[in-house]
Amino acid sequence: MILFMLRMALKNALRHRLRALLTLAGIALAILSFGLLSTVVSAWYAGADAASDKRLITRSAISLVFPLPINYGEKIRAVEGVTSVSWANWFGGVYIEEKNFFPQFAIEPTSYLRLYPEFHLEDAELAAFIRDRQGCVVGRKLAQRFGWKIGDRIPLRGTIYAGNWSFIVRGIYTGRDSGTDENQFFFHWTYLNEWITQRYPRRGNSSGVFVIGIRDGGEAALISERVDSLFRNSLAETLTETEKAFQLGFVAMTESIVLAIQLVSYVVILIIMAVMANTMAMSARERTAEYATLKALGFSPGVIGWLILVESLLLCAIGAGIGISLTWPAVRAVGQALDNLFPVFNVANSTVWLQVAAALVVALSAATIPAWRAMQVRIVDGLRAVG
């Protein structure tokens, strides 16, 4: 019976080949678009998804733009549950042109990179970076993007910290997995601090954020409260939160854009659902006399309904299969074009499952009403019908 259903569904689907091809193209394009838009949304949350539950971020309670005294680090280190502390400053320089954006951080090399084991760096490169005050470490994708290699001198024009800066590539790190950001640029905090201290003494010896390693991720809230209580009612109060919450704070600034993209992706599915429903309604209406004949031969209404449902499922399966298979090359192409905006741009497993679910919803929704009508038609009325 199953083979009979599939054979009949395939013959019915290909009876009008142009309509079938256009329908398949529409489904494939819709599923592909849905996958691309879903990938954009997941890329927006990539930083939060990759965050460790054993890292906390401490920043100024007023705003991220206000620095914290560097001596806070020793006090934080003494908090129960804290295993390590490091710090970082956002730099915000420009490489040749404004469009060449990438994240740049002044860090304390040893403690910072120890807190981020997902950044794989050769021991020799790490040692060279630590020795060289002007040294920098860059991600693999960033190095590929600009053709950098070990020993290259990288000029940056300061925006927050005015002037022309020069760095030497001492290491190129690779990510532990595809979710690791390989588009970052790290250099010595002491190099930046010396410059600040010479020109603006009151702003020296400060940090934008402290990165805290903790023993148990389940104690994140408790340790955060302990850290913040140390500096309560001080001139520079702190706000400590998990790394994921810190990353989500940036996502929240553009939440309306994310919601708009999600809305568009669902509108695409609704449109193809309407197209598919129209295709199935036309096909069922053209075969009313055939369905009546099948009933006259003894086939039950359920068989008629299943014939229409299987045809819809078959069309959506083929179209969705094409769309899903095209998602990977499309994502690679878009990712290369937008690597300065989305450092992590990969097809997530959840995206593929959403595409499959969307195709299934379209198939079932499009077939429901035509199948019900075909099951209800009387033999005499059906034999009178003209397709």
DSSP structure string for 146-177 = HT--TT-EEEEEETTTTEEEEEEEEEEEEESS
Alpha carbon 53 to its chain centroid, in Å, reads: 19
Tens of pLDDT, residues 356-373: 999 998 888 888 888 787
| Cα–Cα nearest to 9, from 252, 369, 257, 367 | 367
pLDDT top residue among 378 and 117: 117
Summary mean pLDDT of the chain: 86
pLDDT at 168: 96
At which residue do the structure tokens 């404004």 appear? 98
**Number of neighbours of residue 51 by Cβ within 10 angstroms:** 17
- Positive or negative, the Cα torsion across 218, 220, 223, 225? negative
Cα–Cα dist 104/92, whole Å: 6
pLDDT at 11: 64
The answer, yes or no, to whether residue 76 has pLDDT greater than 80, is yes
Cα–Cα dist 266/358, whole Å: 9
Characterize the bridge pairing of strands 104-107 and 82-90: antiparallel
Tens of pLDDT, residues 42-60: 877 777 677 788 999 999 9
Q: How confident is the model at residue 258 (pLDDT cuts 50, 70, 90)?
A: confident
Provide the percentage of residues in the chain whose pLDDT is more than 70: 90
